[in-house]
Amino acid sequence: MGKRRLQLRERFERFISQAFAQRVLSFDEAAARAYGDVMGLRKELGRPMSVPDGQIAAVARSRVLAMATRNISDFEECGLDLLNPFRTKM
């Protein structure tokens, strides 16, 4: 690998680690437990959800976070406070 390419890669890696520090939430043990609750509840309600949506909901739920999404209906009945940032107030 050339010197310039190595420098660019190092700068990019440094940028990524700084830009996303404490901004990316991991799917950890608490989220995995919340995932089971979310997916089970939605299945019982006859409203199963996709694995990625379930993981997103579980991460938010395990950290007691509100969730902003344009797809409010996809995340209803997951035990989350939901808000649509694209909806205008009247």
Domains of the chain: 23-83 (3.40.50.1010)
Cα–Cα distance for residue pair 3/17, rounded to 1 Å: 21
How does pLDDT run across 15-73, given as a tens digit for each residue?
Answer: 888 887 778 899 999 999 999 999 999 999 999 999 999 999 999 999 999 999 999 99
How does pLDDT run across 73-85, given as a tens digit for each residue?
Answer: 999 999 999 999 9
Q: How confident is the model at residue 89 (pLDDT cuts 50, 70, 90)?
A: low
The predicted pLDDT at position 56 comes to 96
